[in-house]
Amino acid sequence: MSGFKRFLMQGNVIDLAVAVVIGAAFNSIVQSFVADLLTPLISAFGGLPDFSSLKVTVGRSNFMYGNFINAVISFLMVAAVIYFLLVKPYTHLKDRSVAKIGKTRDCPECLSEIPKAASRCAFCSSQVA
C-alpha cells in the first residue's frame, strides 16, 4: 500500500491530473469560440455550414454522413484555433529563448558567461578556443 501512496504523490501524477482538469476547462472555451464566433463568421460569408441533413439510405438504414462532415469541420476549426492561439506563439517564444541561450558559453578559466564568438574572456582576459 505504501508503494501506491508514493505513486499517487509523485509529481507526474499530480501534474497529469491538473493538466486534464485545465484541458477540460479550456475545451469549453475553445468550443465556445468556434461555435459562437468562427461558425457564424463562416456562415456570414459562405452560407450556413450545417450538413447534418445529408444522408444515404441503403435498405431501411440511414447513413448520416452529414454529421460526420460537421464533426470533421468542427475538429479542423478547433485544431486551427489551438494551433494559431497557443502552439504558434508558444513555439515562437520558446525559439527566442533558445536563441538567447545558444549565443553564449562559459569561460574555461573563470567560468564567466562570454559570447561564443569571443576569442578572449572579457572578465579574466584568458584566451579561449
pLDDT at 124: 93
The 10 Å Cβ neighbour count of residue 68 is: 13
Beta-bridge partner residues of 62: 57
Residue with cell 508514493: 6
For 56, the enclosing helix (H) or strand (E) is strand 56-58
**Rounded to an integer, what is the distance from CA 34 to the centroid of its chain?**
17
79-84: long-range pairs with CB below 8 Å, 24+: 81/30, 81/33, 81/34, 81/38, 82/30
pLDDT at 1: 77
Q: Average pLDDT across each block of 10 residues of the chain; the chain has 129 residues. List them in order.
A: 77 80 84 77 72 86 85 82 88 81 84 89 89
Distance, in Å, from the CA atom of 9 to the CA atom of 107, rounded to the nearest integer, reads 41
* 122: phi then psi, degrees, rounded to nearest 5: -75, -15
Is residue 73 within 8 A of residue 48, CB to CB? The reply is no
| pTM score | 0.53
